[in-house]
Amino acid sequence: MNSASKTMASTSDSAKPPVSSDEESRTRLCEEFAAIAGTDSAVAQCYLAENEWVMERALNSFFEADMERVFEEDFPEEETGPKAKKQKVEEKPPESCIDLTKDSPAPAQKPSDEDDSKLSLISWNVDGLDTDNLSERARGLCSFLALYTPDVVFLQELIQPYIEYLKKRAVSYLIIEGGEEGYFTGMMLKKSRVKLVESEIVPYPNTQMMRNLLVAQVTFKGQKLCLMTSHLESCKGQAEERMKQLRVVMQRTREAADDVTVLFGGDTNLRDAEVARVGLSPGVCDVWERLGKQEHCRYTWDTKANSNKSVPYISRCRFDRIYLRPATKAGVPRLAPDHMALVGLEKLDCRRYISDHWGIYCSFSAG
């Protein structure tokens, strides 16, 4: 992609100038914008140029324009956007809608009485920026919530219509939003089991991609929990900013009182070498590693197995991670991970997956 500025137009065709640092920077910005917004370089260049090459402003402008064509009531998909290949999805009659108003899980998943004290969690980048088949994909997410009835849900890449849909369908959950514009994170807390004390949004000062840290102080079965979710900076070239954001997460973990259990989950975009450079705070464990690095849970973004993104390469990464720091105070129950699985591995009727990321399901028991 050539993002040379208009000032280069007067240069003789016979003498090609060297690529300037400004050109390289703008090329990189276009690539990152395209990767985040799921668009092409030409669209990226247009929005960035209109917004003086400020990534956050350009993304906001893009999402505001895109949102105008996304969904009406309950996500009916329409042929109004630039993506002409959208498939129509018939609206299901009211009686067949996903009902999440009851606390009872599906019979096959009903826990025994001795499991009632276990905490269950799902973390998922739902790829709300991809609006193709989003109504069916959102119903698919609700099906998993009805099946697993997790106590806590961490979500990334939400957009406002997706949140409104969840508020209507997942009424047994309290939903906390990590933003209002563009795309953002969110938490869902099962009202019958998890009680919210307070929540806050912690900004990342140098983010170029509208990222932040969503924090909620809650109680679960008399235990104090600090829940955190985030979508750390994307793209290989943003490693330094991503590591700064991980340091913010670890700092909040260190600051938590010793009678509080801290759980962080989200789309971290982290590479193992980056985690090694930052280091985890004392007492913090990577849940996947603690459970023995099970191979079937390794890759949460896997273009070899997941066809939602049409990319000409194979990339298998453990971008989505769960970190745990148990309470250390004497007499306070210590949560420990006992199970992890990837979810969303089956295609929906539209022949697409719920997201381009697999979701992570974890359960924790008090030791």
- 52 residue type, one letter: E
**pTM for this model (two decimals):** 0.80
- Catalytic (active site) residue 338: no
What is the reported pLDDT for 105? Answer: 39
CA atoms within 13 A on the CB side of 25: 10
Task: Check whether 260 has a pLDDT greater than 80.
Answer: yes
What is the reported pLDDT for 36? Answer: 82
Task: State whether 59 and 166 are in the same domain.
Answer: no
Residue 134 neighbours by CB distance under 10 Å: 26
| Strand, helix or coil for residue 167 | helix
Q: State how far the Cα of 265 lies from the Cα of 292, in Å rounded to an integer.
A: 18
| Any domain includes 74 | no
Helix H or strand E segment including 175: strand 173-177
| Any domain includes 171 | yes
CATH of the domain at 36: 1.10.8
Task: State whether 46 and 163 are in the same domain.
Answer: no
Task: State whether 41 and 110 are in the same domain.
Answer: no
Task: State whether 267 and 310 are in the same domain.
Answer: yes
Complete DSSP assignment for 77-119: --TTSS-TTPPP-PPPPGGGS---SSSPPPGGGPPPGGGTT-E
| Any domain includes 185 | yes
User: With bands split at pLDDT 50, 70 and 90, how would you rate the model's confidence at 263?
Assistant: very high
Task: State whether 322 and 174 are in the same domain.
Answer: yes
CA atoms within 13 A on the CB side of 42: 0
Task: State whether 56 and 165 are in the same domain.
Answer: no
Chain centroid to CA 108? 28
Q: Are 1 and 41 in contact (CB under 8 A)?
A: yes
Task: State whether 36 and 175 are in the same domain.
Answer: no
Averaged pLDDT, 67-82: 45
Among 143, 240, 236, 227, residue whose Cα is nearest residue 185: 227
| Any domain includes 77 | no
Structure tokens at 117: 């004290």
Report percent pLDDT > 90 for the chain: 66
Task: State whether 342 and 246 are in the same domain.
Answer: yes
Q: State how far the Cα of 99 lies from the Cα of 96, in Å rounded to an integer.
A: 8
Domain housing 154: 98-366
What is the reported pLDDT for 63? Answer: 65
Task: State whether 59 and 136 are in the same domain.
Answer: no
Task: State whether 214 and 352 are in the same domain.
Answer: yes
Task: State whether 148 and 48 are in the same domain.
Answer: no
CATH of the domain at 340: 3.60.10.10
Task: State whether 116 and 243 are in the same domain.
Answer: yes
- 7 residue type, one letter: T
Identified catalytic residue from 127, 267, 302, 356 = 267
What is the reported pLDDT for 60? Answer: 72
| Any domain includes 81 | no
| Any domain includes 312 | yes
> Which of 26-30, 88-92, 173-177 has the weakest average pLDDT?
88-92
What is the reported pLDDT for 117? Answer: 85
> Which of 112-116, 139-143, 188-192, 337-341 has the weakest average pLDDT?
112-116
User: With bands split at pLDDT 50, 70 and 90, how would you rate the model's confidence at 124?
Assistant: very high
What is the reported pLDDT for 25? Answer: 85
What is the reported pLDDT for 1? Answer: 43
User: With bands split at pLDDT 50, 70 and 90, how would you rate the model's confidence at 12?
Assistant: very low
What is the reported pLDDT for 112? Answer: 44
| Strand, helix or coil for residue 43 | helix
What is the reported pLDDT for 214? Answer: 98
| Any domain includes 85 | no
User: With bands split at pLDDT 50, 70 and 90, how would you rate the model's confidence at 64?
Assistant: low
Q: Are 141 and 150 in contact (CB under 8 A)?
A: no
| Any domain includes 75 | no
Identify which has the larger pLDDT, 154 or 131: 154
Please tell me the total count of domains within the chain. 2
Averaged pLDDT, 350-366: 97
- 331 Rama sector, left if φ>0, alpha if ψ -120 to 50, beta otherwise: left
Task: Check whether 27 has a pLDDT greater than 90.
Answer: no
Cβ density class 296-321: b for 16+ within 10 Å, e for less: ebebbbbbeebebeeeeeeeebbbbb
What is the reported pLDDT for 95? Answer: 35
